[in-house]
């Protein structure tokens, strides 16, 4: 669809709005204001001394729909002014698109992957939950259930945020290997069938990176308070390789202040007692076993070579090893699943009493085998029924939503949510998702996020995605980590 911007260059914001209402359209940015009679979207920003006015005109099949929104021209700083401008542009788009399509998406004019951010900023500024709720309702047109999720996540994040010290960080270690590739996955992970020969060299290089970055962090007095080994599937590594990696982490980082140590053992077919004994001896506190569905036919359809019985057996092993927190993931909207089937999967998972349950919604990513094969999946109404029923059941069993995020290409206008029993919130997930502090990433596909809350600044440092790039670009990647030192030398460090 043609997009004409005038008075602003907020391409990303307009593109996100387009995707929310017209997911099959691709944006084509055209020069100049939209000419009368042209088809497409015109997005215009008018700046006055007291307020800015955003106007969106959508012309589709000869029918014209208009929306307008306002924002104060004055704000505390440039970051806030830009945020207000973007908010007005999105709201004007939302109003025009509701008229053009006759639909009102439940997330309203909120786009982006961190919908709880609006409420968190309001709480941070001293606002109450009720004030944050009104902001979401009136300025962003968010529906009640979605507002509730945002407020729960924002309150959890705020409570964690005030408990953090300026040099507290999170550590992420990416192991980009899985035993095989699931059909819905476009993640950078490589199946060991194809790239297994690289594993020993990858582990050696990772341990070297841990040594280099550990020394850097110690010299800057950066204290990991959460440590997350993810991927991929870290338990694709052998027990000896897990011992090597976790040993390097213990040797080179100061882990005395660690509050949570998480390891993804996502694929039940990678879990065994020997690996779990290594993790337990290293002080791991949280392990994820991810069935995604407890229906064998659905698992087969999405290319996961394990059964629900395998997931139960892996869970039993993890429980026996004595980890304080176990997480289990499910995905709503998988091909072949139904609302009743999803409810049965959730009931089976809940009967195991994991402390955390994470509910994902299927994202139909372009590169995934499932998308290429065009397998029919449950429609938005079915996914809505799956999630609504699940949220009710989880809340009724004393789970509380503690973090959420959204992705592109999700089935309909949905979200991913993490649920926790009291006292079992996944700290890393909150710190990382709400950018409460710096996350230093090591390993394949890791993205270091250097967070300066005082200036609203986030800098990213990327590790190579694929195992062979990780190995071939290793020296350059390690040199790039010098940016961490430069960042902390200029960081305002107030909270
Ligand atoms: S286990 Fe996760 S990362 Fe690995 S292939 Fe499946 S979806 Fe992708």
Please give the tally of structural domains in the chain.
Answer: 2
Q: Using a 6 Å cutoff on CB, does residue 368 contact ligand 1?
A: no
Instruction: Answer yes or no: is 312 within a domain.
Output: yes
- Give 200 Cα–ligand 1 centroid separation in angstroms: 20
- Ligand 1 atom nearest the C-alpha of 266 is 1
- Ligand 1 atom nearest the C-alpha of 232 is 3
Q: What is the CATH number of the domain that holds 229?
A: 3.30.750.200
Region 296-325 average pLDDT: 96
Percent of the chain with pLDDT over 90: 79
Q: Residue 260 above 80 pLDDT?
A: yes
When pLDDT is cut at 50, 70 and 90, the band that residue 455 belongs to is: confident
Angstrom distance (rounded) from CA 396 to CA 350? 11
Instruction: Answer yes or no: is 438 within a domain.
Output: yes
Kindly state whether residues 92 and 234 are assigned to the same domain.
Answer: no
DSSP 368: S
Beta strands in 203-266 (DSSP E): 223-231, 260-264
- Give 178 Cα–ligand 1 centroid separation in angstroms: 6
Ligand 1 pocket check: which of 175, 180, 181 to mutate, most ligand atoms within 8 Å of Cβ? Answer: 181
Instruction: Answer yes or no: is 396 within a domain.
Output: yes
Give helix then strand counts, H and E, for the chain.
18, 18
When pLDDT is cut at 50, 70 and 90, the band that residue 494 belongs to is: very low
Ligand 1 pocket check: which of 183, 184, 187, 300 to mutate, most ligand atoms within 8 Å of Cβ? Answer: 187
pLDDT in tens, 103-160: 998 999 998 889 999 999 999 999 999 999 999 999 999 999 999 999 999 999 999 9
Q: Residue 311 above 70 pLDDT?
A: yes
Kindly state whether residues 84 and 167 are assigned to the same domain.
Answer: no
Q: Using a 6 Å cutoff on CB, does residue 306 contact ligand 1?
A: no
When pLDDT is cut at 50, 70 and 90, the band that residue 409 belongs to is: low
Instruction: Answer yes or no: is 119 within a domain.
Output: no
Instruction: Answer yes or no: is 210 within a domain.
Output: yes
When pLDDT is cut at 50, 70 and 90, the band that residue 74 belongs to is: confident
Strand partners, 450: 459
Region 2-9 average pLDDT: 93
Angle at 19 between CA 17 and CA 20, to 5 degrees: 65
Q: What is the CATH number of the domain that holds 46?
A: 3.30.160
Q: Residue 495 above 70 pLDDT?
A: no
pLDDT in tens, 19-30: 889 888 889 999
Kindly state whether residues 257 and 356 are assigned to the same domain.
Answer: yes
pLDDT in tens, 477-492: 999 999 999 999 887 6
Q: Position of tokens 């307020």?
A: 51
Kindly state whether residues 285 and 388 are assigned to the same domain.
Answer: yes
Of 86, 103, 120, which marks where a domain is finished? 103
Kindly state whether residues 245 and 318 are assigned to the same domain.
Answer: yes
Ligand 1 pocket check: which of 184, 189, 270 to mutate, most ligand atoms within 8 Å of Cβ? Answer: 189
Kindly state whether residues 374 and 281 are assigned to the same domain.
Answer: yes
**Minimum mean pLDDT range among 74-78, 166-170, 296-300, 464-468:** 74-78
Kindly state whether residues 74 and 177 are assigned to the same domain.
Answer: no
**Minimum mean pLDDT range among 104-108, 169-173, 334-338, 453-457:** 453-457
CA-proximal residue: ligand 1, atom 3 (nearest): 232
When pLDDT is cut at 50, 70 and 90, the band that residue 410 belongs to is: low
Angstrom distance (rounded) from CA 331 to CA 468? 30
Kindly state whether residues 313 and 411 are assigned to the same domain.
Answer: yes
In this prediction, residue 189 carries a pLDDT of 59
How high does pLDDT run on average in the chain? 93
Q: Which phi and psi angles does 174 have, rounded to 5°?
A: -100, 125
Domain that holds residue 56: 1-103
Kindly state whether residues 178 and 281 are assigned to the same domain.
Answer: yes
Instruction: Answer yes or no: is 470 within a domain.
Output: no
Instruction: Answer yes or no: is 251 within a domain.
Output: yes
Q: Using a 6 Å cutoff on CB, does residue 267 contact ligand 1?
A: yes
* 399, 419 contact by CB (below 8 A): yes
Q: Residue 387 above 50 pLDDT?
A: yes
Kindly state whether residues 56 and 169 are assigned to the same domain.
Answer: no
More confident of the two residues 184 and 293: 293
Kindly state whether residues 77 and 178 are assigned to the same domain.
Answer: no
- Give 260 Cα–ligand 1 centroid separation in angstroms: 23
Kindly state whether residues 320 and 442 are assigned to the same domain.
Answer: yes
């Amino acid at each position: 669809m043609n997009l004409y911007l005038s008075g602003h260059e907020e391409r990303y914001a307009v593109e996100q709005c387009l995707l929310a209402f017209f997911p099959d359209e691709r944006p084509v940015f055209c020069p100049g204001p939209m000419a009368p009679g042209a088809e497409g979207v015109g997005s215009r920003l008018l700046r006055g001394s007291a307020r800015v006015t955003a106007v969106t005109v959508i012309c589709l099949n000869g029918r014209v729909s208009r929306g307008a929104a306002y924002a104060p021209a004055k704000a505390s700083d440039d970051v806030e002014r830009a945020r207000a401008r973007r908010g007005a542009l999105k709201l004007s788009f939302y109003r025009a698109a509701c008229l053009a399509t006759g639909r009102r998406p439940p997330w309203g004019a909120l786009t982006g992957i961190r919908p709880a951010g609006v409420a968190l900023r309001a709480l941070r500024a001293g606002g109450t939950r009720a004030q944050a709720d009104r902001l979401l309702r009136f300025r962003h047109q968010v529906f009640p259930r979605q507002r509730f999720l945002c407020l729960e996540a924002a309150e959890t994040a705020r409570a964690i945020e005030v408990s953090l010290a300026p040099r507290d960080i999170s550590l992420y270690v990416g192991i980009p290997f899985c035993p095989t590739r699931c059909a819905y996955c476009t993640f950078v992970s490589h199946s060991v069938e194809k790239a297994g020969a690289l594993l020993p060299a990858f582990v050696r290089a990772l341990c070297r990176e841990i040594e280099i970055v550990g020394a850097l962090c110690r010299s800057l007095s950066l204290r990991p308070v959460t440590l997350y080994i993810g991927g991929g599937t870290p338990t694709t590594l052998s027990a000896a390789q897990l011992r090597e990696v976790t040993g390097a982490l213990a040797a080179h980082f100061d882990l005395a202040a660690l509050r949570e140590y998480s390891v993804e053992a996502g694929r039940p077919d990678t879990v065994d007692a020997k690996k779990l004994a290594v993790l337990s001896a290293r002080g791991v506190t949280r392990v994820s076993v991810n069935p995604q569905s407890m229906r064998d036919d659905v698992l087969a359809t999405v290319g996961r070579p394990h059964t629900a019985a395998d997931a139960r057996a892996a869970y039993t092993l993890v429980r026996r090893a004595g980890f304080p927190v176990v997480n289990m993931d499910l995905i709503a909207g998988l091909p072949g699943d139904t609302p009743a089937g999803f409810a049965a999967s959730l009931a089976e998972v809940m009967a195991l009493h994991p402390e955390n349950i994470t509910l994902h919604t299927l994202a139909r990513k372009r590169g995934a085998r499932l998308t290429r094969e065009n397998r029919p999946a449950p429609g938005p109404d079915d996914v809505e029924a799956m999630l609504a029923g699940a949220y009710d059941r989880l809340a009724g069993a004393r789970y509380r939503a503690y973090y959420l995020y959204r992705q592109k290409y999700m089935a309909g206008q949905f979200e991913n949510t993490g649920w926790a029993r009291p006292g079992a919130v996944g700290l890393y997930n909150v710190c990382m998702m709400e950018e409460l502090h710096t996350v230093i990433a090591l390993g394949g596909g890791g993205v270091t996020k250097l967070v300066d809350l005082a200036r609203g600044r986030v800098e990213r440092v990327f590790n190579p995605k694929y195992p062979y790039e990780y190995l071939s670009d290793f020296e350059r990647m390690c040199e790039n980590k010098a940016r961490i030192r430069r960042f902390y030398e200029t960081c305002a460090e107030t909270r």
